[in-house]
Amino acid sequence: MIVVSDTAALAEHLSPLRHRADTIAFVPTMGNLHDGHLALVNQARAAADAVVVSIFVNPMQFAAHEDLDTYPRTLDDDLSALRKTGVDLVLTPSADDIYPNTSARHTAIHVPKLGDALCGKDRPGHFDGVCTVVYKLFRLVGPDIAVFGQKDLQQLLIIKRMVADLSLPIDIQSGATQRAEDGLALSSRNQYLSASDRAVAPLLWQTLQSCGATLTATPDCEPASIIDPARKTLEQAGFTVDYLELRELSTLQLVDSVDQECALFVAARLGDTRLIDNIQLAASS
């Protein structure tokens, strides 16, 4: 496995990699890798002849009050885990390399509508930062395939739209959400949870499952009559709910029935830790 720390070295090592590999798959990460990331890497390995992974904590997607400075950085452990998966090349650039004139002065990519709802509303500018760095990494790596997790379903939909709108020749594949035994979606930020909050956290997925099943089983019911009590259940358990909303998948518009492809999205805080999750619902017949 080759590890490069700047984009110039990346270009040098990509040339022989492309010469011997018909297809290259790419998995962008911010490091602090867990089994969810590694599942995406394994999916990439199965889909292509060579795999490139990036590890970069992207300052452009963090607001001033968020955890950029304290975001967990575990590069040695990350590289050790990636070696075991058979990754070919890892890029670990600096912020100065990606944003020579600082991220604050960098051109941003905005995906309207999809990027303005849900986390886009609660974290203004977040998805602009995500799209900008992903686009830059796509241009640097030139992958045939890129793999993103369904845990951040909104991000996945936004990246797919960006790729389509900008005519990028990249197949965006989605990887299933990986969960702990108790159902909590794996996330690098889960380690922020206190022991007591970690014990409560699985209720987020349990509530999504229950709520989703009821919405599907009673399609004529007003969704608010199911979603509002679910929100209260979470709040009574100690969550601060940013949103719990039923939205159509292609547009992320709010919907009032499950007669179309949609998903129930949630973002909620336990203590200082913000958790997100979702459950996709098939259209009722």
- Taken as a whole, the chain contains a residue count of 285
Active-site residue set = 37
Instruction: Verify that 171 and 192 share a domain, yes or no.
Output: no
Q: How many domains is the chain partitioned into structurally?
A: 2
153 and 24 in one domain?
A: yes
Domain of residue 220, residue span: 188-279
Q: Which of 140, 175, 210 is the last residue of a domain?
A: 175
Structural domain includes residue 181: no
Instruction: Tell me, yes or no, whether 195 and 59 share the same domain.
Output: no
CA dist 281 and 261 (Å) reads: 6
Q: Is residue 79 part of a domain?
A: yes
Rounded Cα distance between 16 and 118, Å, is 42
Nearest in space to 185 (alpha carbons), one of 154, 213, 151:
151
What CATH number is associated with residue 10?
3.40.50.620
Same domain, 89 and 147: yes
> Rounded to whole angstroms, how far apart are CA atoms 172 and 47?
11
Q: What is the pLDDT of residue 219?
A: 85
CATH of the domain at 224: 3.30.1300.10
CA–CA dist 195, 248 (Å, integer): 35
Residues 170 and 198 in one domain: no
Residues 274 and 151 in one domain: no
pLDDT number for residue 285: 53
CA–CA distance, 73 with 89 (Å, rounded to integer): 19
**Do 141 and 274 fall within a single domain?**
no
pLDDT in tens, the chain (285 residues): 999 999 999 999 999 999 999 999 999 999 999 999 999 999 999 999 999 999 999 999 999 889 999 999 999 999 999 999 999 999 999 999 999 999 999 999 999 999 999 999 999 999 999 999 999 999 999 999 999 999 999 999 999 999 999 999 999 999 999 999 999 999 999 999 999 999 999 999 999 999 999 999 998 889 999 999 999 999 999 999 999 999 999 999 999 888 889 999 999 999 999 999 999 997 655
Q: Which amino acid is at 92?
A: T
Q: Are residues 149 and 216 in the same domain?
A: no
Dihedral angle of Cα 245, 251, 257, 258, to the nearest 10 degrees: -100
DSSP-assigned beta bridge partners for residue 278: 265
Residue 52 dihedral angles phi and psi, to the nearest 5°: -115, 135
Could you say which of 143, 175, 207 is where a domain stops?
Answer: 175
Residue 254 sits in the same domain as residue 171: no
pTM: 0.96
Q: What pLDDT is stored for residue 257 in this prediction?
A: 85
The residue out of 175, 197, 230 marking a domain boundary is 175
